[in-house]
Amino acid sequence: MVKVSETATRGGEPGAASGTESPHGVGPLAGVRVLELGSLIAGPFAGRQLADFGAEVIKIEAPSRPDPMREWGRARVQGHTLWWSVQSRGKKCVTLDLKSPRGRELFLELCQEADVLLENFRPGTLENLGLAPEELWQVNPGLIIARVSGYGQTGPDAQKPGYASVAEARGGLRYLNGYPDQAPPRTGISLGDSLASLYALQGILLALYWRDARGGTGQVVDVSLVEACFSLLESAVPDFAAEKVVPGPSGSGLKGIAPSNIFRSGDGKWVVIAANQDSVFVRLAAAMGRSELASDPRYSNHASRGVHQEELESLIAEWAAGYGHDELTAVLDRHAVPNSPVSSIEDIFADPQLRARGMLVEVPDEELGVLVQPGIVPRLTRSAGEIGWSGPLTPGSHNRAIYEGLLGLSEDELQAAKDEGAI
């Protein structure tokens, strides 16, 4: 298990000297300052990834309404949920009431010092606060404003609330999931939110490049959860446009793609075997001791295997059931057939590959002890990311570092803003 040094994961007030350092001082995004508004998943997940790669991410929470993510997640340590510690790692947390006049003033001052504003409010929220992009560009023309919402900033449904499950349904993903003639199930995660976060990250990086390398200006990155889900539909759009093909759920495999499915080993564990490419199927047939299958006209090429998918997968299922899952994967590995057991999180913690790749990281936390967190994706060989610290447990824990260190407020001014309810 990878361990993160204490110096890289300081608790308390990281960057308290001036409030301007990135969490790590290194990384490909060091020097980029991000203001994070919004809550829960779709916006903050993108903010977490920016922080992992060196950006200084300042998370803004309303004084009386902290991010509900602080209460989300199953496991608790000393009353605190651990998902928050992951989702807000490397971020500096401040409180600010955007509805108060003084809070609005302070926010505009922060925007002057920022490169990116990341928000996942319902469209129109910033505008109603008097903080529309045009207002923000008056104080900082180079500000990149990433806006993540259910349906996007425009269109007839822009004002509708959107959640991951709704987006997965509206964007077409849910229709393709599950088994024919059954209720379409969801995945056990908020997939629509996470997909939108990845597109927000991509858009922010594109906008930064256009601004800094190409002489561009600030712009809006408009990300829709529905469109993020829709973008993954592969050939569905051209197929329907051309021949009115409507793909539906196909269970644990894909119709016409064979063999590529889950098969149960003799000890009851599910194993994915993916051998639909012609050359790989030759290797699977050899692993099964049935090399003749590769030359059988029913199975000799991709198209014919798709036609005879059911009978072929029945043969493979019967063969797989003759092995324990360790034996089964070992035989497949010897013949270079892509395979994997279907891993639970318990299996992942025992996975030597994921451990070797640093996907399980021990992060010291001054209050909660050592926490195991997911590692950073992707891996960069010359400018790697780094986990700065776990998500600060107290809302406003970096108020002094940011408002005094970055904006130059005096202690009396900071206290006055607090007394006004602005922070």
Catalytic residues: 193
Q: Tell me whether strands 220-224 and 260-264 are parallel, antiparallel or unpaired.
A: unpaired
DSSP labels, 199-248: HHHHHHHHHHHHHHTT-----EEEEEHHHHHHTT-TTHHHHHHHH-----
CB 358 within 8 A of CB 286: no
Three-state DSSP string of 119-146:
ECCCCCHHHHCCCCHHHHHHHCCCCEEE
How many angstroms separate the CA atoms of 93 and 131, rounded? 21
Q: For 389, how many CA atoms within 13 A lie in the half-sphere containing its CB?
A: 26
C-alpha 232: how far from chain center: 15
Q: Which two tokens stand for residue 189?
A: 């995660």
Q: Which residue has the tokens 């940011």?
A: 402
Please give the backbone phi and psi of residue 272, each rounded to the nearest 5 degrees, phi first: -80, 130
160 CB neighbour count, 10 Å cutoff: 15
Q: Which two tokens stand for residue 300?
A: 């000799």
How many angstroms separate the CA atoms of 246 and 401, rounded? 55
* Of the candidates 288, 290, 258, the residue with the CA atom closest to the CA atom of residue 274: 258
CB 26 within 8 A of CB 90: no
How many angstroms separate the CA atoms of 232 and 234, rounded? 6
Q: How far lies 397's CA from each of 93, 148, 173, 209, 416, in Å?
A: 6, 26, 40, 32, 17
CA angle (67 as vertex; 223, 415 as ends), nearest 5: 120
DSSP assigned state of 250 = -
Which contacts (CB < 8 Å, 24+ apart) does range 324-328 have? 324/265, 324/266, 324/267, 325/265, 325/266, 325/267, 325/269, 325/271, 327/265, 328/265, 328/266, 328/271
